[in-house]
Structure 1
Amino acid sequence: MAAHYQVVVNDEEQHALWPVGTPLPAGWRAEGFTGSEEECSAHVDEVWPDIRPLSLRRRTAGPAAGAAE
Protein backbone atom coordinates (compact mmCIF):
# COMPACT_ATOMS: atom_id res chain seq x y z
CA MET A 1 0.00 0.00 0.00
CA ALA A 2 1.28 3.45 -0.93
CA ALA A 3 2.00 5.88 1.86
CA HIS A 4 -0.74 8.44 2.50
CA TYR A 5 0.30 12.07 2.78
CA GLN A 6 -1.26 15.40 3.58
CA VAL A 7 -0.32 18.83 2.32
CA VAL A 8 0.72 21.16 5.12
CA VAL A 9 1.38 24.90 5.08
CA ASN A 10 3.09 27.36 7.40
CA ASP A 11 2.58 31.06 8.10
CA GLU A 12 4.90 31.93 5.19
CA GLU A 13 2.53 29.97 2.91
CA GLN A 14 5.25 27.42 2.21
CA HIS A 15 3.85 23.98 1.42
CA ALA A 16 5.17 20.53 2.27
CA LEU A 17 4.07 16.90 2.28
CA TRP A 18 3.67 15.19 5.61
CA PRO A 19 2.69 11.60 6.43
CA VAL A 20 -0.92 11.32 7.61
CA GLY A 21 -1.08 10.34 11.28
CA THR A 22 2.30 11.86 12.12
CA PRO A 23 2.24 14.90 14.42
CA LEU A 24 2.89 18.13 12.53
CA PRO A 25 5.96 20.17 13.40
CA ALA A 26 5.45 23.46 15.22
CA GLY A 27 4.27 26.23 12.92
CA TRP A 28 2.65 23.96 10.33
CA ARG A 29 -1.05 23.20 9.79
CA ALA A 30 -2.95 20.82 7.53
CA GLU A 31 -4.00 22.49 4.27
CA GLY A 32 -6.81 20.01 3.68
CA PHE A 33 -5.53 17.88 0.78
CA THR A 34 -4.51 14.26 1.29
CA GLY A 35 -3.46 11.50 -1.09
CA SER A 36 -0.47 9.65 -2.45
CA GLU A 37 2.90 11.37 -2.61
CA GLU A 38 2.39 11.95 -6.33
CA GLU A 39 -1.13 13.38 -5.87
CA CYS A 40 0.01 15.70 -3.08
CA SER A 41 3.03 16.86 -5.09
CA ALA A 42 0.79 17.64 -8.08
CA HIS A 43 -1.59 19.57 -5.79
CA VAL A 44 1.29 21.62 -4.35
CA ASP A 45 2.54 22.39 -7.87
CA GLU A 46 -0.94 23.66 -8.74
CA VAL A 47 -1.65 25.79 -5.65
CA TRP A 48 1.86 27.10 -4.93
CA PRO A 49 3.26 28.43 -8.23
CA ASP A 50 5.41 31.14 -6.59
CA ILE A 51 7.56 29.31 -4.06
CA ARG A 52 8.96 32.44 -2.45
CA PRO A 53 7.96 32.88 1.22
CA LEU A 54 5.02 35.24 1.80
CA SER A 55 7.22 37.84 3.52
CA LEU A 56 9.50 38.03 0.46
CA ARG A 57 6.56 38.27 -1.94
CA ARG A 58 5.17 41.14 0.12
CA ARG A 59 8.52 42.96 0.21
CA THR A 60 9.05 42.70 -3.53
CA ALA A 61 5.47 43.76 -4.28
CA GLY A 62 5.57 46.61 -1.73
CA PRO A 63 5.59 50.35 -2.51
CA ALA A 64 7.39 49.90 -5.83
CA ALA A 65 4.32 48.14 -7.22
CA GLY A 66 2.17 51.19 -6.49
CA ALA A 67 4.77 53.59 -7.95
CA ALA A 68 4.55 51.87 -11.31
CA GLU A 69 0.92 52.96 -11.73
Structure 2
Amino acid sequence: MVYYRVVVNFEGQYSIWPAEQQNPPGWRDGGKTDTREACLDFIEEVWLDMRPRSLRRPVARQVRERWGSG
Protein backbone atom coordinates (compact mmCIF):
# COMPACT_ATOMS: atom_id res chain seq x y z
CA MET A 1 0.00 0.00 0.00
CA VAL A 2 1.24 3.50 -0.84
CA TYR A 3 1.08 6.09 1.93
CA TYR A 4 1.03 9.84 1.66
CA ARG A 5 1.63 12.67 4.07
CA VAL A 6 -0.35 15.90 4.27
CA VAL A 7 1.98 18.87 3.96
CA VAL A 8 1.33 22.59 4.40
CA ASN A 9 3.37 25.58 3.26
CA PHE A 10 3.98 29.01 4.81
CA GLU A 11 0.89 30.35 3.02
CA GLY A 12 -1.32 27.75 4.74
CA GLN A 13 -1.91 25.81 1.52
CA TYR A 14 -2.25 22.03 1.80
CA SER A 15 -1.07 19.22 -0.43
CA ILE A 16 -0.12 15.55 -0.22
CA TRP A 17 3.36 14.11 -0.65
CA PRO A 18 4.63 10.52 -0.77
CA ALA A 19 5.29 9.50 2.84
CA GLU A 20 8.62 7.85 2.06
CA GLN A 21 10.06 11.09 0.62
CA GLN A 22 11.32 14.14 2.47
CA ASN A 23 8.98 17.11 2.45
CA PRO A 24 9.55 19.44 -0.47
CA PRO A 25 11.37 22.69 0.40
CA GLY A 26 9.05 25.18 2.09
CA TRP A 27 6.54 22.54 3.22
CA ARG A 28 6.06 21.04 6.71
CA ASP A 29 4.05 18.12 8.04
CA GLY A 30 0.34 18.86 8.10
CA GLY A 31 -0.84 16.31 10.63
CA LYS A 32 -1.83 13.20 8.68
CA THR A 33 -0.11 10.21 7.07
CA ASP A 34 -2.40 7.65 5.46
CA THR A 35 -3.75 6.55 2.10
CA ARG A 36 -4.17 9.12 -0.66
CA GLU A 37 -7.94 9.26 -0.18
CA ALA A 38 -7.71 9.59 3.60
CA CYS A 39 -5.21 12.44 3.25
CA LEU A 40 -7.41 14.22 0.72
CA ASP A 41 -10.43 13.78 3.03
CA PHE A 42 -8.40 15.28 5.89
CA ILE A 43 -7.44 18.28 3.75
CA GLU A 44 -11.07 18.81 2.82
CA GLU A 45 -11.96 18.92 6.53
CA VAL A 46 -9.22 21.30 7.68
CA TRP A 47 -8.57 23.61 4.72
CA LEU A 48 -11.64 25.81 4.96
CA ASP A 49 -10.28 28.99 3.34
CA MET A 50 -8.27 28.25 0.22
CA ARG A 51 -6.92 31.77 -0.17
CA PRO A 52 -3.20 32.05 0.60
CA ARG A 53 -2.49 33.44 4.08
CA SER A 54 -0.96 36.57 2.50
CA LEU A 55 -4.36 37.39 0.97
CA ARG A 56 -6.47 36.49 4.01
CA ARG A 57 -4.73 38.93 6.35
CA PRO A 58 -5.23 42.09 4.26
CA VAL A 59 -8.90 41.22 3.68
CA ALA A 60 -9.47 40.67 7.40
CA ARG A 61 -7.78 44.00 8.15
CA GLN A 62 -9.98 45.80 5.61
CA VAL A 63 -13.11 44.31 7.17
CA ARG A 64 -12.03 45.41 10.66
CA GLU A 65 -11.25 48.93 9.43
CA ARG A 66 -14.59 49.24 7.67
CA TRP A 67 -16.88 47.50 10.15
CA GLY A 68 -14.95 47.58 13.40
CA SER A 69 -13.69 44.66 15.44
CA GLY A 70 -17.04 43.54 16.68
Q: TM-score, normalised by structure 2?
A: 0.87
Q: How many residues align?
A: 67
Residue 59 of structure 1: CA displacement? 1.3
CA deviation string 1:23-50 (max 9, x = no partner): 2111001112111111000100000011
**Percent of aligned pairs with the same residue?**
43
Q: Distance in 2 between matches of 1:32 and 1:17?
A: 11
Q: TM-score, normalised by structure 1?
A: 0.88
Cross-structure match for 2:67: 68
Q: Distance in 2 between matches of 1:20 and 1:59?
A: 34
Q: Distance in 1 between matches of 2:24 and 2:37?
A: 22
Q: Mind listing any 5+ residue stretches in structure 2 that lack a counterpart?
A: none
| RMSD of aligned residue pairs (Cα, Å) | 1.0
List structure 1 segments (4+ residues) > 4 angstroms apart after TM superposition: none
Cross-structure match for 2:54: 55
